[in-house]
Amino acid sequence: MKLSIKQDERLLPGEQDRPLLIAGPCGVESKEQIMETARALAEYPVDILRGGVWKPRTRPGAFAGVGGKGVAWLKRAGEEAGLPVATEVATPSHVEMCLSHEVDVLWIGARTVANPFSTQAIADALRGVDDVAVMVKNPVSPDIGLWLGAFERLNKAGVKQLAAIHRGFSIGGGGGFRNQPVWRLPIELKRRVPKIPLICDPSHICGSRKFIRRISQEALDLMFDGLMIETHISPDDALSDSSQQLTPNAYGRLVAALEPKREVVDNAEFQNELSVLREKIDELDDKLVTLLGERMRVVEEIGERKERTKVAVFQPSRWEEILKNRVEQGKSENLDPNFITKLYQLVHEEAVRHQER
Ligand code: PEP
Ligand code: MN
């Protein structure tokens, strides 16, 4: 599937030598708050002012945003600071209010993307509108189909300026994250839709200020095109997501500390070294895939014998033994036990499938 994203035109404003930067509060709380935030942010590199006016809250009673009147405040603050503005939409009436106030960029939130009825309704409301960009957050669960589906619906409705936001997934998994990053999903999305710009939202991944710099840098190392970072003039007083918002000043320091990465550089020595190492990787992968094929053929032979002797395909004690030994062997090669476990779980699942054929 190919989405027809506008050719030769940057989706969103930004400078080539640094990532696209989107900053602003989780929620627009008052005219003064958004004005002050915008003014303070304008001192630093920033391309788009964000601010949610309709906040999807997990529990009723939490601050649900100031509603429609916030759209005008956000737009006004953006105009004063010379910045395009972005806000979240979840219903066709949100879209209409944003269009009537000339909001430049819309985003669809993680909870909304999880619901095809909602994404379709938003796409329908945007039919024929070609001057707004739409950013689609990943759905709350790691389902690439739902994420892709939202792009397809928008694309079919004629929306050409699209971007994807990785904001992590509600899958637990520790690491101290509010929403676990699963980098292979946005990377797979990019493989399937090469022109889609990838933006990382470290604020909603981290849920606290602690790891925002680390996750932002990780995204840039993975060639993400931009970052969306929640910033508030007084984070401790914020009405939503207070522990993850940065002051504009801390945002400025963060942005200054980030190191953008390039995909290719004009440095012959580096390119040579890289291609020699890549050749090695190709050779090793070649061996790895051949070995996996060989392993599966042996597995099939075992399968045939088990079938003949009426022995069960899955043998828990053998599986335990394989896992234990490979994890031990992995340790001597400096390989993380978690990695070996996951790898062997996949290999074992595939082996069982081969024996059941
Ligand atoms: C937000 O960006 O403020 C937001 C609610 O994000 P998400 O949809 O990722 O939870
Ligand atoms: Mn938020």
Work out the pLDDT band at 1, boundaries 50, 70, 90: very low
Q: Whose CA is nearest to atom 6 of ligand 1?
A: 109
Q: What atom of ligand 1 comes closest to residue 241's alpha carbon?
A: 3
Distance 230 CA to ligand 1 centre (A): 10
Higher pLDDT, 243 or 172: 243
Residue 230 structure tokens: 């929640």
Residue 289 structure tokens: 């895939």
Q: How far apart are CA 192 and CA 284, in angstroms?
A: 26
Coil, helix or strand at residue 288: helix
Distance 134 CA to ligand 1 centre (A): 14
Amino acid at 266: D
Of the chain, the end-to-end C-alpha distance in Å amounts to 31
Residues 240/63, Cβ–Cβ less than 8 Å: yes
Q: Whose CA is nearest to atom 8 of ligand 1?
A: 109
Please report which ligand is nearest the Cα atom of 239. Answer: 2
- Spell out where 15-84 has E strands: 20-24, 48-50
Sorted by where each starts, the structural domains of the chain and their CATH numbers stand as: 9-257 (3.20.20.70), 268-355 (1.20.59.10)
Q: What is the pLDDT of residues 80-134, one digit of tens each?
A: 999 999 999 999 999 999 999 999 999 999 999 999 999 999 999 999 998 899 9
Q: Provide, for the chain, the percentages of residues in helix, strand and coil under a 3-state DSSP scheme, each rounded to the nearest 5.
A: 50, 10, 40
Q: What is the pLDDT of residues 37-79, one digit of tens each?
A: 999 999 999 999 999 999 988 888 889 999 999 999 999 999 9
Asked which of 5-14, 86-95, 126-135, 199-208 is least confident by mean pLDDT, the reply is 5-14
Q: Residue 8: its pLDDT value, please?
A: 40
Q: What atom of ligand 1 comes closest to residue 111's alpha carbon?
A: 8
Q: What atom of ligand 1 comes closest to residue 165's alpha carbon?
A: 9
Q: Residue 13: its pLDDT value, please?
A: 58
Report the DSSP beta bridge partners of residue 199. Answer: 165, 226
Please report which ligand is nearest the Cα atom of 139. Answer: 1
Report the DSSP beta bridge partners of residue 106. Answer: 87, 134
Distance, CA of 64 to chain centre: 24
Q: Residue 15: its pLDDT value, please?
A: 65
Handedness of CA 329, 332, 337, 340 (dihedral sign): negative
- Closest Cα to residue 199, out of 137, 121, 154? 137
